[in-house]
Amino acid sequence: MSADFSTLAEFRALLADAPSTDAKAKGEAEDRNGQLTKPPGALGRLEDMAIWYAGWRGNGRPSIDAPQVIVFAGNHGVTAQGVSAFPAEVTEQMVLNFQHGGAAINQLSKAAGATMDVYALSLDTPTADFTQEPAMDDAGFLEALKTGWDAVSPDADLLVVGEMGIGNTTSAAAIANALFGGDAEDWVGRGTGVDDAGLAIKARVVREGVALHGGGDGLDALQKLGGRELAAMVGAIVRARSLRIPVIMDGFICTAAAATLASTQDGALDHVISGHVSAEAAHHALLGKLGKEPILSLGMRLGEASGGALAINILKSAVACHSGMATFAEAGVSDG
- Sketch the domain layout of the chain as residue ranges: 8-62+322-331, 67-318
Does residue 134 surpass a pLDDT of 90?
Answer: yes
Does residue 150 surpass a pLDDT of 70?
Answer: yes
The pLDDT tens digits of the residues spanning 312-336 come to: 999 999 999 999 999 999 999 998 6
Average pLDDT over residues 120-135: 97
The predicted structure's pLDDT at residue 335: 80
The pLDDT tens digits of the residues spanning 188-247 come to: 988 878 888 889 999 999 999 999 998 899 999 999 999 999 999 999 999 999 999 999
Q: Cα–Cα distances in Å, from 93 out to 124, 193, 213?
A: 12, 18, 31
Angle at 313 between CA 70 and CA 273, to 5 degrees: 65
The predicted structure's pLDDT at residue 180: 97
Residue 217 CB coordination number (10 Å): 14
3-state secondary structure of 144: helix
Give the mean pLDDT of the chain.
96
The predicted structure's pLDDT at residue 215: 86
CATH fold, domain 8-62+322-331, is 1.10.1610
CATH class of 67-318: alpha beta
Does residue 1 surpass a pLDDT of 80?
Answer: no
The predicted structure's pLDDT at residue 194: 85
In 275-330, DSSP assigns E strands to none
**Positions marked active-site:** 304
Average pLDDT over residues 169-183: 97
The pLDDT tens digits of the residues spanning 39-61 come to: 999 999 999 999 999 999 999 99
Average pLDDT over residues 275-279: 97
pLDDT > 90 fraction of the chain, expressed in percent and rounded = 92
Does residue 171 surpass a pLDDT of 80?
Answer: yes
Give the integer Cα–Cα distance in Å for 213 and 128. Answer: 13
Does residue 277 surpass a pLDDT of 90?
Answer: yes
Does residue 278 surpass a pLDDT of 80?
Answer: yes
Q: What is the pTM of this model?
A: 0.97
Give the integer Cα–Cα distance in Å for 44 and 40. Answer: 9
Does residue 126 surpass a pLDDT of 70?
Answer: yes
